[in-house]
Structure 1
């Protein structure tokens, strides 16, 4: 076993820790858990903080449980929320749970013996728990005053809060109690906004069973410029490639500020203290090379996706900066190609029209797709000046035949000058 708390401390990943927690972890292998909210069919990078906490927990020799909230997902956690959210159907929740479990299996070792990871679903112990039994066996141990004192409740009282959400902390508290009794869980981990819910669980264990349980929370991640971590103009950065392509995922980390990169590389990678400090020294000597950002983006893209996806993302990134070849462009899969050129002007042309187009000048200036050049004269002049490329191959003859190989069998990439791209979709 290694010192889990010391590992989190140097990485800046501890916000609150209950007295006695370190002593418990240093005494013996301890089972601990984190809850994951199944309100979507994918986790996002905001969840990665907790995933990495469980990864470090297991690497330190302890036993991690990932609780997916099939029951609590039906209620909705009020912590950090300004309004009550829509409740999901059981069918939707079950689909989401299966997807989330599959993602967690990429990070945790479920076959390592005594401290192998386990996924549990609180719906399993709540589905047959009758309401009267719950308020008698659980509710009587926690006072209204205790529940009202929680920030997650106080912050919502003025705007209105249903009994459903008010009861959430009791439900989460019982999760901890159930895992304590049935899985010998002695530690719950989570974000700092979960502290109130977590200590309700430790209090329930103390009052109901005279037991002792512990808690650690991690800080909520903030970016140096004050903008929300894990968000782009399009919304969340997801772990599912269908929601956020590996290229966009890679770009999110690559575009981190120096200050954020120094913080993120501690939280989201498994690089050692010595490796990170050496990288920071190299970065300080040549900041323009952005070595921290490159190391961060590489490590996390490979672990969330794959090495092949990382290589594809790097190749795709180089295309926009003019450092690629026709072969590089042709090797991109369709999802990456469309991710790279999302937002550039696009037009459609039929295969029949393409087949009857006399030369490249006509193609680029034809009225059916005239977003590239407004006239043949303009197109001819730019081609003769060496300012036009098709699929990253420079065009020098205005009368060149249109015989380019289509990317993915249906696209042509036209480039005017250094930075103006146009995607022609052949349908």
Structure 2
């Protein structure tokens, strides 16, 4: 229920739920009350295992190991479509390309059980120029929830996308007019960096609102103009940081997910503390590292973070 409320809150930025213009329902309303034997008889009999195993989503999982729970996803999602059609006259299901087989399963189930014609539509998955899914960084996933990924860090993620991915992201994720994006396709160097800032601003505005986008943009400009310091920059309060191992401190800030990755960052000369390169993997935080402005950490070339004791 908590997750559902979070989804609705996030989706409210782009979908209007007022006056039932859009409705959100929980498939637990019909899935939790299912009788297993009846479900197998009524719904399971409509699916061919041979056909299911030809689906790309199952083929990939079979190589790594496919649980019986995962094998049931297609049946449950197809049943969702059947119930949504019966309860709300839902005629089209939307999803990512990786949901294609499950959506087709639902279309076929609606035809078999109720002789209804329904439809499916999929979207291209967000991948980088190497074909890998976007959304993973050294610190883990990029979240829409501001408590998990702050609007500033969210903004910075898009500022730091690879050059080859900027135009595609502008086309897929923003409402910047296509004519303007086509002009940006010819940009290089500093101009391309400006395209990244436009991308970051527009996506942050869409997810977190204009006020947070403006704040993130202003903070980013201040951080780089003032050598990594801004009143609104990401900050961690760690009262007992003095005497703490630098690797432990990096993990506590959330900049790195583990001591192993923190160690690699230091060994690869990717960490600066108060604008000075830091390369002691066994080092501890000393009092002189905490200035009036706190301790300014720089990870790589573009990620800044401040640590204060109170």
TM class by smaller structure: 0.7 to 0.9
1:356-371 equivalences under 5 Å are 369-371=287-289
Match of 1:251 among 148, 156, 160: 156
Partner of 1:311: 214
Partner of 1:224: 129
1:321-400 equivalences under 5 Å are 321-323=224-226, 329-330=230-231, 332=232, 335=235, 344-345=272-273, 369-371=287-289
1:146-165 equivalences under 5 Å are 146-165=51-70
Distance 1:164 1:226 in 2: 28
Deviations 1:269-322 (A, max 9, x none): 1223234334x26x62x6413332121111111121133322332232223423
Q: Which has the higher contact order (CA 8 A, sep 6+)?
A: 1
- CA drift at 1:207: 1.1
- CA drift at 1:222: 1.9
Partner of 2:88: 183
Contact 1:174 1:204 in 2 (8 A): yes
C-alpha change, 1:274 and 1:309, in structure 2 (3 Å) is same
Alpha-carbon RMSD: 3.5
Residue 265 of structure 1 pairs with residue 183 of structure 2: no
Contact 1:198 1:215 in 2 (8 A): yes
C-alpha change, 1:311 and 1:159, in structure 2 (3 Å) is closer
Partner of 1:122: 27
Distance 1:422 1:262 in 2: 28
- CA drift at 1:230: 1.1
Match of 1:300 among 171, 186, 203: 203
C-alpha change, 1:129 and 1:185, in structure 2 (3 Å) is same
Partner of 2:76: 171
Contact 1:245 1:335 in 2 (8 A): no
Distance 2:140 2:84 in 1: 34
C-alpha change, 1:321 and 1:188, in structure 2 (3 Å) is same
Task: Name the TM-score, length of structure 2 as normaliser.
Answer: 0.73
- CA drift at 1:150: 2.1
C-alpha change, 1:288 and 1:137, in structure 2 (3 Å) is same
Partner of 1:240: 145
Match of 1:288 among 190, 195, 199: 190
Contact 1:344 1:422 in 2 (8 A): no
Deviations 1:391-425 (A, max 9, x none): xxxxxxxxxxxxxxx66xxx47699xxx9x99673
Partner of 1:276: 181
Residue 214 of structure 1 pairs with residue 119 of structure 2: yes
Distance 1:172 1:341 in 2: 35
- CA drift at 1:118: 1.4
1:35-114 equivalences under 5 Å are 94-111=1-18
- CA drift at 1:170: 0.8
